[in-house]
Amino acid sequence: MSDLLILLGTVLMALSVVLAIASLARTEPPRGAAIAFVIGVAALFAGAWLEPTPFRVQDLGLAWQRLLSGEIRL
């Protein structure tokens, strides 16, 4: 579960950058980007809180490997 939350958080935070650029290019306030960023940060914190060991940057790559190898099911 924590792997999914960590992956969801990073995807939402990356998506928020794209949404912010698109909104600013249209001269609109980036509300959707801000919401995606806040939810992404909350998912990252929830994933790190659920895991009993401390969260490291390497855990992100390991989570992707576990997802792609089929150890984690959606």
- Amino acid 48: pLDDT: 84
- Amino acid 34: pLDDT: 96
- Amino acid 39: pLDDT: 97
Q: Sign of torsion, CA 13 8 40 63?
A: negative
For residue range 15-74, what is the model confidence (pLDDT) as tens digits?
Answer: 999 999 999 999 999 999 999 999 999 999 998 888 888 878 888 888 888 888 988 776
Single pTM value for the model: 0.82
- Amino acid 64: pLDDT: 87
CA distance 66 to 74: 12
- Amino acid 13: pLDDT: 96
> Which alpha helices (H) appear in 1-74, and where do they start and end?
2-25, 31-50, 58-69
Candidates 69, 48, 70, 50; CA nearest to 59 is 48
